[in-house]
Structure 1
Amino acid sequence: MHHLWFLYFTQQYSKMTRRSGRLQAKSENGATHTDKLAKIKKEQCNRKKALTKRLNGETQNRGAQDAVCRTDVLMESPMEGLHEEFDQPGLSQCHQPSPFPRLSWACSEDVWVKMLSKEIKYKHCNHCIEKHPRLQPKMRAVLLDWLIEVSEAYVLHRQTFYLAQDFFDRFMLTQADVDKERLQLIGITALFIASKIEEIYPPKITELAYVTDGACLEEEILQMELIMLKALNWDLYPETIVSWMKLYMQMASAYDFTNVLVPQFSQETYIQITQLLDLCILDINSLGFKYGVLAAAALCHFVSFDIVQKVSGLTWEAVESCVNWMAPFVETMMSYEVAKLKHFNKVSSDDRHNIQTHINYLSMLQEAQQKSSIHMNSIFPTPPSSAEKSSTY
């Protein structure tokens, strides 16, 4: 469940086949489930080829037939106006081929385009705090840091935390003038929703209410859950930063494309990069970048850009500003002890890197922001005051 590839391909392929008709385990003539999948896919291609022949009045060659099959799958997706949206700065990925290997059980191009389409559908903005005059960016950082700590305490996965972060930020974008006393309730409710989506055994609502130390009652969490779901329009499946990072790292380190569902990257390196992302996401300015760009920028600080471009389809112009913005955070993180894998009871060794962990992020954030401020002042010096100006003449 917690492997990005298995989850995403299975979800997307299931949606595609449900639109074509529900599959049954066995047919009356004894055909297997796999045979029926192959039959439906063949029928889809045949329908599209027949339509193309009627329109063009000529027989398609084999290369065109393969393109027809891919187009047939893509036509089932709600992609109207997608390519126009991708022409925006930082979304040049759509002009690159899918980094996925060719798969016999799914269309890699279709999955790639759907992942990119979520970067448009699930909007976030670093100016969302301006809609709440009584809130400060630091309050958001404190809340997310606490949610990371809660996630580790209940052995929740990184994807669970990043889903909660996305739900929180997108919800705040739909609201106005939220009081700071409501932040903890919104945050724990976001984690409650995310854990029910991602975890096999999510924490009970009584446990999540308990960690708020009486600040949030169970009834309040349930009521806020309905409010959030309605405000988010039940759009609960974004491509998070960590899911993009897993994709990039898997493709960068994959050496056996026959078994692409098994992680092949170094757990230690993955921990370092994810802790960098944890630190960055506490800064509200991180929301000024697309999730895929944030993940690519983080990877740029650990591998060459040629590799990043190959696995992400992004140009240097698309990630340059994010790489530069992230530099003080990298410098700060490197000055601390090297991140290590933590041991969790009942968690297998090959899944430990997927568990969300917590370190002293708030102190690191303060240092990184100070370095960032110094860096920006060196680029854009503060103009002299009026008194200083008059004394120079």
Structure 2
Amino acid sequence: MEIQVRRQQRLVNLHDQENANVFKGKSNAILPIKRQGLTARGALGDLNTNAQAQRDIAIGKVAVATAEYEKKATLNRATIKSNYSHVRSKIDTGLAVTKPTIQPSSRPPLRREESTAGLAAKAAARTKAVLKETQQNKTNDEKTLKPRIQSQDSKKPSRLSAVNEDAKPVLKEPTESLGKLKLAESVKQDKLKKKHPPLPLDVEDIDASDNNSPLLMSCYIKDIYHYLTELELKYSIEPDHLKEQSEISGRMRATLIDWLVEVQRQFSLVLETFQLTVGIIDRYLQAVPNVQRNQLQLVGVTAMFLASKYEEIYAPEVGDFVYVTDNTYSKADVFQCERDIMSKLGFCLARPIPLSFLRRFVKAAHGTSKNHHLAKYFVDLSLVEYSMAHYRPSELAAAALCLSLHLLSRKTLEEVWTPTMTYYSQYTLEHLDPIIRKIANVVVNVKNSKYKSVYNRYLDPKLAKVSALPELKEGAIEELAKIPSTTYL
């Protein structure tokens, strides 16, 4: 009997030892565990029972940790509620906030005026109280304050007198300066009256209707054109100005300008740019003797490059001018020639162009747009001719307009060139007659000339096709080209 009991105890001890080795990883055998409170249903039953117990323990730990986290969160919410209660009206935190109960008042809310009125009433009450106190103090301490006031009064006149003495010259200076200013204005007005005498009775005031337009500058327009006249005399071109050139002739100049007309047309430049270009070329060739023949085209494109920067809103790049020369010159050559031209011309490109005077003269003649385009055509033809390069821009503009008015109106030159035109252009018909006949000669011979760029450009419908007008093919202009210029002398 004892032997059987010992065997059972050994078996139980053996099972417990092997099961412990399984959990420690020392054996691969799975044996049932026999413990108190568990029924021996096999290895799987025992193992499942142990895993469920461990799972229950883990769930219990998670529940405890969750409860502690919720407790901390509530504490944090309470601190947030207490610290940021002043911004609850701006930010909705989503928390239930207990708002203080406010007893509604029967009186409506105060307006802004009422609130300020209450403040003003309080301020007025304070001032009244302060005044009363000061009056009482004044009656009580009148004897003590009286000598102090007398001493202060005795000091005040000296200070005021010093200030007045210092202020006397300050008051005198503005009156003197105003007097000088009025005197200067009167002198200036007298000078203007002497400079611009009243118009003759047979001369129309073409600026009378422009007094209300600030863009037309009717107050300064006469001074402006007087200044332009001085500039064209200052920067004048001499007759036969290429006489100092050993390699460049008038034909080469005409060839260059005729080619520049095509460049201006290709780049869509304004007419002011072309006329200013011709002026720059003539001034440079007059100032610099012995310009080489292979440098003449470089001078031409550089002059147009300068004129386009002076007149155009969007000037072509220097590479464009290099391209039209078929890369004969480089950008560095153009820049070097630009510096040379500007230094020789004294960095001044303010020489007037014929178009500036032509606008003024067309206004004085009450001419049409057709008269204006035809006069521009005559001016551009004259710029190509070397024999007419020495004429002043105002002379070319006046002669071209006179011829345009004569051809389109079928009136005589005497009828066209009125005293008003003589006054505003400052040229008589006798002075303009030889220039008119030279222009007529150029227009008649343009068909046989090899310089036809100007003629082709004015075939544009935007310019009214004035180069193909029938008036330029009739006998009136041919007669002017044949008759000698001594008719009005």
Which is further off, 318-327 or 165-174? 318-327
Could you say if the C-alpha distance between residues 47 and 330 of structure 1 is closer, same or farther in structure 2, counting changes exceeding 3 Å?
farther
Q: Is the 8 A contact 1:268 1:340 kept in 2?
A: no
| Letter matched to residue 119 of structure 1 | E
Note the alpha carbon deviations across 1:90-124, whole angstroms, 9 max, x for none. xxxxxx99964464644233212112111212121
Structure 2 residue 357 is matched with structure 1 residue 239:
no
Q: Is the 8 A contact 1:271 1:341 kept in 2?
A: no
2:70 maps to none
2:19 maps to none
Which is further off, 216-225 or 318-327? 318-327
The 1-side partners of 2:247 and 2:483 are apart by 29
Larger radius of gyration: 2
Note the alpha carbon deviations across 1:274-324, whole angstroms, 9 max, x for none. 122111111111123211111111111122121642441211232222123
Given candidates 280, 288, 292, the residue that maps to 2:394 is 292
Could you say if the C-alpha distance between residues 339 and 170 of structure 1 is closer, same or farther in structure 2, counting changes exceeding 3 Å?
closer
2:370 maps to 268
The 1-side partners of 2:179 and 2:316 are apart by 48
Could you say if the C-alpha distance between residues 210 and 69 of structure 1 is closer, same or farther in structure 2, counting changes exceeding 3 Å?
same
| Letter matched to residue 235 of structure 1 | C
1:177-196 to 2 correspondence within 5 Å? 177-196=290-309
Q: Is the 8 A contact 1:299 1:308 kept in 2?
A: no
1:27 maps to none
Given candidates 417, 424, 427, the residue that maps to 1:305 is 417
Deviation at 1:372, TM superposition (A): 11
2:342 maps to 229
Cα RMSD, aligned residues only: 3.9
The 2-side partners of 1:45 and 1:250 are apart by 41
The 2-side partners of 1:170 and 1:278 are apart by 18
Given candidates 417, 432, 437, the residue that maps to 1:319 is 432
| Letter matched to residue 136 of structure 1 | S
2:37 maps to none
Deviation at 1:250, TM superposition (A): 2.6
Output the TM-score relative to the length of structure 1. 0.60
Could you say if the C-alpha distance between residues 315 and 269 of structure 1 is closer, same or farther in structure 2, counting changes exceeding 3 Å?
closer
Could you say if the C-alpha distance between residues 340 and 188 of structure 1 is closer, same or farther in structure 2, counting changes exceeding 3 Å?
closer
Could you say if the C-alpha distance between residues 211 and 375 of structure 1 is closer, same or farther in structure 2, counting changes exceeding 3 Å?
farther
Deviation at 1:249, TM superposition (A): 1.2
| Letter matched to residue 275 of structure 1 | Y
1:131-146 to 2 correspondence within 5 Å? 131-146=244-259
Q: Is the 8 A contact 1:70 1:110 kept in 2?
A: no
Could you say if the C-alpha distance between residues 173 and 373 of structure 1 is closer, same or farther in structure 2, counting changes exceeding 3 Å?
farther
Given candidates 183, 194, 217, the residue that maps to 2:330 is 217
| Letter matched to residue 231 of structure 1 | K
| Letter matched to residue 399 of structure 2 | A
1:342 maps to 460
1:108-147 to 2 correspondence within 5 Å? 108-147=221-260
Output the TM-score relative to the length of structure 2. 0.49
The 2-side partners of 1:137 and 1:45 are apart by 60
1:50 maps to 183
The 2-side partners of 1:46 and 1:319 are apart by 49
1:81 maps to none
Could you say if the C-alpha distance between residues 48 and 70 of structure 1 is closer, same or farther in structure 2, counting changes exceeding 3 Å?
farther
1:31 maps to none
Q: Is the 8 A contact 1:99 1:311 kept in 2?
A: no
Structure 1 unmatched runs, 5+? 1-43, 53-59, 75-95, 254-264, 344-351, 365-370, 380-393
SS of 2:437's partner is: helix
Q: Is the 8 A contact 1:209 1:216 kept in 2?
A: yes
Given candidates 306, 310, 317, the residue that maps to 1:204 is 317
Deviation at 1:169, TM superposition (A): 0.2
Give the % identical residues. 23
The 2-side partners of 1:353 and 1:103 are apart by 31
The 2-side partners of 1:250 and 1:325 are apart by 24
Structure 2 unmatched runs, 5+? 1-176, 196-202, 406-415, 473-478
